[in-house]
A = this chain, B = another copy of it.
């Protein structure tokens, strides 16, 4: 589970990780994950991970989705050989978890470091393409500056402003308002974008 939060102070995407309570890798930081109960839906298992492992309340979850299914052998010395990577948008980062930028990851248990790296490309690809994912990160209304920093966090470098504007204009269900707001301390204020519905 990749729990993502856009921090409007540091102006970057931060990933929620937590110290493990049990062996193996006790006390070491890891991505929140749970075993899927028989007949349980992915969405419910994801919520359990967010609330139980990260301490994020349910109403601070802005969205949940599926990323990819890993099937590597020996991922976990214990049991499951199958794991499903999911994303979640978090509006309020819980104090009980550690929130870290994607390009300064601490050491993580299992192969979680690799999972984050592999998933980052997929997240960057889903941004502005998957409306549910994009909106979970931006919220309903957001200035262009946020879009710029969110994109920069996921792809690893600052995108071209012109191209980003063109991309945003082409996103279905997203439109630009007349409103302007200063997201930074200097410079021209940015236009506000708004999701429909």
Kindly provide the distance from the CB of A132 to the nearest chain B CB, expressed in whole angstroms: 14
Chain A: how many interface residues by the 8 Å CB criterion? 16
Q: Judge whether A73 and B38 touch: CB under 8 Å.
A: no
Q: Judge whether B41 and A71 touch: CB under 8 Å.
A: yes
Is A117 part of the binding interface, using a Cβ–Cβ cutoff of 8 Å?
Answer: no
Q: Judge whether A41 and B81 touch: CB under 8 Å.
A: yes
Is A82 part of the binding interface, using a Cβ–Cβ cutoff of 8 Å?
Answer: yes
Per the 8 Å Cβ criterion, residues 48-72 of A in contact with B are 66, 69, 71
Q: Judge whether B71 and A39 touch: CB under 8 Å.
A: no
Contact with A69, one of B38, B39, B73, B84 (Cβ below 8 angstroms): B84
**Chain B residues, Cβ within 8 Å of A66:** 69, 71
Q: Judge whether A80 and B41 touch: CB under 8 Å.
A: no
Q: Judge whether A39 and B84 touch: CB under 8 Å.
A: no
Kindly provide the distance from the CB of A35 to the nearest chain B CB, expressed in whole angstroms: 10
Given known contacts A39-B79, A41-B71, A41-B81, what 15 new A-B pairs fall within 8 Å (CB)? A38-B80, A39-B80, A39-B81, A40-B81, A41-B73, A41-B82, A42-B71, A42-B81, A42-B82, A43-B71, A66-B69, A66-B71, A69-B69, A69-B84, A82-B84
